[in-house]
């Protein structure tokens, strides 16, 4: 054997032995490299950290991706999430993944990382998530991965209906009006003793904003439209129709608090609609899916059922309002690439299943919308989730106050319907500038 071959063989054996020792962890090289490849990530959510489903999710993830990612869950209050996020950014840091409500879109979309369509195409997105999830898309890409939706439905009291001789709740607004003569109890002074539904006011309707937006969407207006990365207020526009959808919606809504109208069933002297419903004096209650836990805890003996929100007619263009929640990666994350990879995994089947159980809401993934046949309410929530329409809410509190002023100004005589809608349009424009 030539001397060169001997030297080459010795070097090869030496390198092989060192590689085995490093891989076995006897030499430090392997351990040091492992520490470098494990990326610590922090995720902010709004579910209890003690919830077994959240604990199982984090534990399973960390076990499955051990050596790659170490995920730490931090519980936040949904009411302080926005301020906590802004304060964290002001300190020069941020969570790697954050629970992202749809009302963060206009204000905070530039603070989170857009996943380009080359990495998640529009076709892939639509095949995976519910239509309502598209609220998280713009010209740049997808800046939050949808995980949950919270649809508006019509809860009703079956006993109330049975006692007045009605077999089922209405499915259209014309049917709603026709049932009021049976559901309402109004004395000769026009005092409402019992009511079919609560509309026409703002101060004592718990989900006024959600109800009013549902009616606006059903009438054909988007309130705020998006073109690419730009948003525009279209509340007062006719949008190709012979009439203003917003004006028609407002006039219809106000009829329910006008004692001169046949639709009259509500006024501001009554208790909150939820309290009326819980006491058995309100036949129907418009609420989000998330309201069910409150209703059942407040009055476990009340017979509660639900149906999809009434529609304008029996056409196929069915709409209800709903909230959409996603997972986003802040641009200030120090591990954005790994955080995006992790967020995609967390938006997959088994993590979302855990989050759905912890939250009590509807999954935003199409393939998980399989209702339990033993749960009749779940079927209603799932069917409602498919027809959710939402909007890029510029500020959840300010926009709610603006919509309330539309109704209040007309009810108190401070403005005519046309003027109230025009004023609201200008105020909404101020929020998106």
Q: Classify residue 369 as exposed, middle or buried by CB count within 10 Å of its CB (0-12, 13-18, 19+).
A: middle
d(CA 329, CA 340): 6
The reported pLDDT for the residue numbered 23 is 37
d(CA 131, CA 169): 27
pLDDT mean over 387-416: 97
Q: Are 212 and 407 in contact (CB under 8 A)?
A: yes
For residue 299, pLDDT beyond 90: yes
Which tokens belong to 326?
Answer: 């996603």
Look up tokens 């009055």; give the residue: 299
Measured CA to CA in angstroms, residue 343 lies from 113, 357, 359 at distances of 11, 19, 18
Q: Classify residue 65 as exposed, middle or buried by CB count within 10 Å of its CB (0-12, 13-18, 19+).
A: middle
Give 262's DSSP letter: T
Query: What confidence category does residue 2 fall into, taking pLDDT thresholds of 50, 70 and 90?
Result: low
The pLDDT tens digits for 356-372 are 999 999 999 999 998 88
Percentage with pLDDT > 70 across the chain: 91
The reported pLDDT for the residue numbered 314 is 78
Give 240 or 284, the one with higher predicted confidence: 284
Query: What confidence category does residue 36 fall into, taking pLDDT thresholds of 50, 70 and 90?
Result: low
Query: What confidence category does residue 21 fall into, taking pLDDT thresholds of 50, 70 and 90?
Result: very low
The pLDDT tens digits for 37-96 are 899 999 999 999 999 999 999 999 999 999 999 999 999 999 999 999 999 999 999 999
d(CA 37, CA 162): 64
Query: What confidence category does residue 13 fall into, taking pLDDT thresholds of 50, 70 and 90?
Result: low
Q: For the chain, which residues make up each domain, given as ranges?
A: 152-313+386-394+403-411
The pLDDT tens digits for 198-249 are 999 999 999 999 999 999 999 999 899 988 788 999 999 976 676 789 999 9
The pLDDT tens digits for 262-279 are 999 999 999 999 999 999
Which tokens belong to 45?
Answer: 């959510």
The reported pLDDT for the residue numbered 201 is 98
pLDDT mean over 423-433: 95
Which residues are CB-contacts of 405 (< 8 A; sequence separation ≥ 6)? 420, 423, 424, 427
Mean pLDDT for the chain? 91
Other C-beta atoms closer than 10 Å to the C-beta of 117 total 16
Break the chain down into helix, strand, coil percent, rounded to 5: 45, 20, 35
The reported pLDDT for the residue numbered 404 is 98
For residue 35, pLDDT beyond 70: no
pLDDT mean over 341-354: 97
The reported pLDDT for the residue numbered 31 is 37
The reported pLDDT for the residue numbered 33 is 38
- Domain 152-313+386-394+403-411 CATH superfamily: Periplasmic binding protein-like II (3.40.190.10)
The reported pLDDT for the residue numbered 19 is 43
Q: Classify residue 164 as exposed, middle or buried by CB count within 10 Å of its CB (0-12, 13-18, 19+).
A: middle
For residue 424, pLDDT beyond 80: yes
Q: What is the pTM of this model?
A: 0.89
The residue among 357, 352, 353, 360 whose CA lies nearest residue 291 is 360
Which tokens belong to 222?
Answer: 């988007």
The reported pLDDT for the residue numbered 229 is 81
Query: What confidence category does residue 159 fall into, taking pLDDT thresholds of 50, 70 and 90?
Result: very high
pLDDT mean over 286-311: 98
Q: Which parts of 25-71 fold into alpha helices (H)?
A: 28-37, 52-64
Give 90 or 23, the one with higher predicted confidence: 90
d(CA 335, CA 345): 15
Query: Which is it for strands 320-328 and 388-389: parallel, antiparallel or unpaired?
Result: parallel
């Amino acid at each position: 054997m030539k001397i060169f071959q001997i030297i080459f063989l010795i070097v090869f054996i030496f390198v092989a032995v060192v590689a085995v020792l490093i891989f076995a962890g006897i030499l430090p090289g392997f351990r040091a490299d492992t520490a470098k490849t494990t990326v610590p990530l922090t995720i902010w959510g709004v579910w209890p950290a003690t919830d077994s489903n959240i604990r199982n999710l984090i534990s399973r993830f960390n076990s499955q991706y051990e050596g790659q990612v170490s995920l730490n869950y931090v519980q936040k209050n949904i009411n302080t999430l926005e301020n906590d996020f802004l304060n964290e950014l002001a300190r020069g840091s941020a969570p790697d993944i954050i629970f992202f409500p749809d009302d963060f879109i206009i204000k905070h979309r530039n603070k989170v990382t857009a996943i380009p369509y080359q990495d998640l195409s529009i076709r892939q997105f639509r095949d995976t998530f519910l239509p309502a999830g598209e609220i998280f898309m713009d010209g740049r890409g997808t800046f939050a991965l949808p995980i949950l939706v919270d649809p508006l439905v019509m809860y009703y009291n079956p006993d109330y209906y049975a006692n007045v001789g009605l077999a089922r709740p209405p499915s259209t607004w014309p049917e709603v009006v026709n049932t009021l003569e049976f559901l309402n109890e109004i004395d000769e002074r026009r005092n409402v003793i019992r009511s079919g539904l609560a509309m026409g006011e703002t101060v004592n309707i718990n989900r006024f904003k959600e109800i009013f937006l549902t009616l606006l969407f059903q009438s054909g207006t988007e309130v705020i439209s998006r073109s690419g990365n730009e948003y525009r207020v279209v509340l007062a526009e006719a949008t190709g129709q012979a009439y203003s959808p917003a004006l028609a919606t407002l006039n219809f809504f106000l009829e329910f608090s006008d004692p001169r109208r046949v639709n009259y069933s509500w006024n501001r002297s009554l208790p909150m609609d939820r309290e009326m419903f819980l006491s058995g004096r309100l036949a129907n209650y418009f609420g989000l899916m998330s309201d069910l836990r409150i209703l059942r805890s407040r009055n476990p003996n009340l017979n509660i059922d639900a149906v999809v929100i009434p529609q304008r007619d029996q056409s196929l263009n069915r709409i209800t309002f709903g909230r959409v929640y996603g997972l986003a990666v802040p641009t200030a994350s120090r591990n954005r690439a790994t955080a995006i990879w992790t967020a995609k995994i967390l938006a997959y089947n088994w993590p979302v299943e855990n989050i759905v159980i912890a939250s009590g809401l509807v999954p935003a993934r199409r393939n998980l919308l399989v209702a339990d046949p033993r749960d009749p309410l779940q079927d209603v929530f799932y069917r409602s989730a498919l027809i959710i329409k939402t909007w890029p809410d510029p500020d959840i509190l300010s926009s709610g106050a603006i919509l309330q002023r539309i109704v209040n100004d007309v009810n108190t005589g401070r403005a005519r319907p046309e003027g109230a809608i025009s004023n609201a349009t200008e105020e909404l424009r101020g929020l998106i500038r």
